[in-house]
Structure 1
Amino acid sequence: MNSINFYIVDVFAETKYTGNQLAVFTNAANLTSEQMQLIAKEINYSETTFLTSPQQTSGGYNVRIFTPEQELPFAGHPTLGTAYIIQREIIKHPVTKILLNLKVGQIPVTVNYIDASVECMWMKQKEPTFHQILDVETIAEVLKIPPDEIDGRFPIQEVSTGVPFIIVPLKTLESLKRIKVNQDKYFEIISTTDAKCILVFCPETYHSNNQLNVRVFCDYLGIPEDPATGSANGCLAGYLVEYSYFGKQKISIRVEQGYEIKRPSLLLLEAEKKDTAIEVYVGGKAIMVARGEFV
């Protein structure tokens, strides 16, 4: 294997060493799928991405996403982080939109600048779809919390914008902080669902200028808890609009995640229901941390 360049970025981060870590390999054309998987396991971040060509195909850049355990058709922080590296290291001049060709399809990323430096990026996710509704008592057992701490006004449901997640509404931050996943019950429940990861949220937050606090658990993918999950929060945005969680079918909110594992993250969610369709956008910042090469 020839040496391959990589970059490390913190995504959905306000400062370095927060948010979700991502490794981006920019000259991965000669890597096999098996080599990509081995590298992702060696890096051992939630996800690692591989740009398979610096040239565009159908107007977009071909990108593959791997967790330590398997390839994914879509993931949020890898989409934004890879777009950030493409703009900074491949394109090298301001552009307003970058298209990524992922397994799930082509995902557009809009780039906002301050003085020619990337300030924030937004990805438009696939339209959310709503699937199986799950039992309160069963999920309470998985999370090791009493059933009455789950907000019964809203369903526990599988939602997908490309990758499905089980969305669980809680009443309080104290309940969310106490969660300890019961591994046996977790693997039992996901054997019956398309979704293999669980997003839990509540309306109480660490910071008053944020609207929701979120935790995401993905042991099936080799990620016990994820510090910032763009794909899951896209599903959450669709859910919030579908069920008028804030009393309306349009939202523009700030979501905090990762505080319980000391990787505080900030995700920006915008969504609106138009007729029967829901448009979902997830935004945030990316910060360069390191660069190097695999040899």
Structure 2
Amino acid sequence: MPRILPFKQVDVFTGELFKGNPVAVTNCMDIDESEVTTEQLQAIASWTNLSETTFLFKPTDAGCDYKLRIFTPGSELPFAGHPTVGSCKAFLEFTGVKKEKIIQQCGLGHIELTVTDDQKISFKAGPNSIEEISDSVIKSYESTMNINSIERPKLLRVGPNWAVLLVKDSEEVLRIEPDLVAMTALNRENVHTGVIVGGLKTGCTAGDAYEIRAFAPNEGVSEDPVCGSGTLAFLRYLQEINQFKESKTFHITQGARVGRNGNLYCKIDILPDGKVDYYVGGYAIAILNGTITL
């Protein structure tokens, strides 16, 4: 029998209406997860045709506030950044919960989120790793975008698997016209979610402001307007190539080429024991509020 469930569409990483990255969020916390199939959830995600669609379920792990399942139009992801922030915003509005710390259960594990008094929501990176990419694959990616990397590209596993490339400045980032057919083949052949390319903001000398773009055509997302996991991958990459010894904050912008104005407030936190934590956050606005039939 069809179920009528609460639904929100949340604009993420923006304080300005219609300028961030939308995520569709369905509140399934009043039903048992066993009552729906992955195929049903995937069908909804394909129908919304957003870069990600999420479903909030009751947590199955102690200490978590909710369990989140995340879908692109073509597949399920263990983690993604803007859906994490947007789904947290939806959870707070669905439930009326007022907490500074929220724990999300998802395919990547437990993700800690912080909610500030002014409602900025940040997530702390879960398990992540960095790997080399072969010279031939690097050349192929550079060719598909007609760019030259200024540092050796790396593969960042942050839930999604992003190939990260750095170019000289934001102007070069914004001029890129990728060959999406070739990129799709490369993503599929190498089991990469997609490509992140970033460059220092033109005129910025402090090294703390960057423009990035995210391409994931093999996931049905030609260009993700504002990508949280991609931003996390980019932060992790910056730490790898710079080896910062002190904590550092960053302002990362995205979406200019697709009519958006995404703003992400990030931190690389260097702890006294040498451990490094990564934080990505921003604002979110619930724009559509209603119900969906599942």
The answer, yes or no, to whether TM exceeds 0.5 is yes
One-letter identity of the residue aligned with 1:173: S
One-letter identity of the residue aligned with 2:14: A
Is residue 138 of structure 1 aligned with residue 135 of structure 2? no
Query: Which residue of 2 is the match for residue 267 of structure 1?
Result: 264
1:188-233 per-position Cα deviation (integer Å, ceiling 9, x unaligned): 4224434221000000259999700000000011100001111111
Alignment of 1:151-230 (within 5 A): 151=150, 154-205=151-202, 211-230=209-228
One-letter identity of the residue aligned with 2:123: M
Query: Which residue of 1 is the match for residue 251 of structure 2?
Result: 254
Query: Which residue of 2 is the match for residue 76 of structure 1?
Result: 81
Report the Cα distance in structure 2 between the residues aligned to 1:164 and 1:277, rounded to whole angstroms: 22
Seen in structure 2, the aligned counterparts of structure 1 residues 226 and 113 have a Cα distance that, compared at 3 Å, is same
Query: Which residue of 2 is the match for residue 15 of structure 1?
Result: 16
Query: Which residue of 1 is the match for residue 92 of structure 2?
Result: 87
1:145-196 per-position Cα deviation (integer Å, ceiling 9, x unaligned): 3x3xx21xx2111012222201100113332222122134313422443422
CA contact (8 A) 1:234 1:282 kept: yes
Report the Cα distance in structure 1 between the residues aligned to 2:132 and 2:280, rounded to whole angstroms: 24
CA contact (8 A) 1:134 1:157 kept: no
What displacement does 1:248 show? 5.1
Report the Cα distance in structure 2 between the residues aligned to 1:194 and 1:249, rounded to whole angstroms: 34
Query: Which residue of 2 is the match for residue 284 of structure 1?
Result: 282
What displacement does 1:237 show? 1.0
What displacement does 1:87 show? 1.4
One-letter identity of the residue aligned with 1:144: N
Unaligned runs of 5+ in 2: none
What displacement does 1:130 show? 0.8
Q: Say which SS state the counterpart of residue 133 (structure 2) adopts.
A: strand
Report the Cα distance in structure 1 between the residues aligned to 2:61 and 2:92, rounded to whole angstroms: 16
Query: How many residue pairs are counted as aligned between the two chains?
Result: 283
Seen in structure 2, the aligned counterparts of structure 1 residues 82 and 206 have a Cα distance that, compared at 3 Å, is farther
What displacement does 1:99 show? 0.9
What displacement does 1:52 show? 2.0
Report the Cα distance in structure 2 between the residues aligned to 1:95 and 1:167, rounded to whole angstroms: 34
Alignment of 1:59-70 (within 5 A): 59-60=63-64, 61-70=66-75
One-letter identity of the residue aligned with 1:141: S
1:28-71 per-position Cα deviation (integer Å, ceiling 9, x unaligned): 63332111111111111110110123x67412111100111111
Report the Cα distance in structure 1 between the residues aligned to 2:90 and 2:188, rounded to whole angstroms: 36
Is residue 112 of structure 1 aligned with residue 109 of structure 2? no
Query: Which residue of 2 is the match for residue 236 of structure 1?
Result: 234
Structure 2 counterpart of 1:42, from 43, 47, 54: 47
Query: Which residue of 1 is the match for residue 125 of structure 2?
Result: 125
One-letter identity of the residue aligned with 2:291: E
What displacement does 1:278 show? 2.5
Q: Say which SS state the counterpart of residue 266 (structure 1) adopts.
A: strand
CA contact (8 A) 1:26 1:51 kept: yes
Seen in structure 2, the aligned counterparts of structure 1 residues 16 and 255 have a Cα distance that, compared at 3 Å, is same
Q: Say which SS state the counterpart of residue 43 (structure 2) adopts.
A: helix
Which stretches of structure 1, 4 residues or more, deviate above 4 A after TM superposition?
205-210, 273-276
Is residue 96 of structure 1 aligned with residue 104 of structure 2? no
Q: Say which SS state the counterpart of residue 117 (structure 2) adopts.
A: strand
What displacement does 1:271 show? 1.1
Unaligned runs of 5+ in 1: none
CA contact (8 A) 1:214 1:255 kept: yes
Q: Say which SS state the counterpart of residue 94 (structure 1) adopts.
A: coil
CA contact (8 A) 1:165 1:232 kept: yes
CA contact (8 A) 1:128 1:278 kept: no
CA contact (8 A) 2:170 2:210 kept: no
Q: Say which SS state the counterpart of residue 190 (structure 2) adopts.
A: coil
Bigger mean CA deviation after superposition, 129-138 or 98-107: 129-138
TM-score by length of 2: 0.89
Report the Cα distance in structure 2 between the residues aligned to 1:99 and 1:108, rounded to whole angstroms: 5
One-letter identity of the residue aligned with 2:74: E
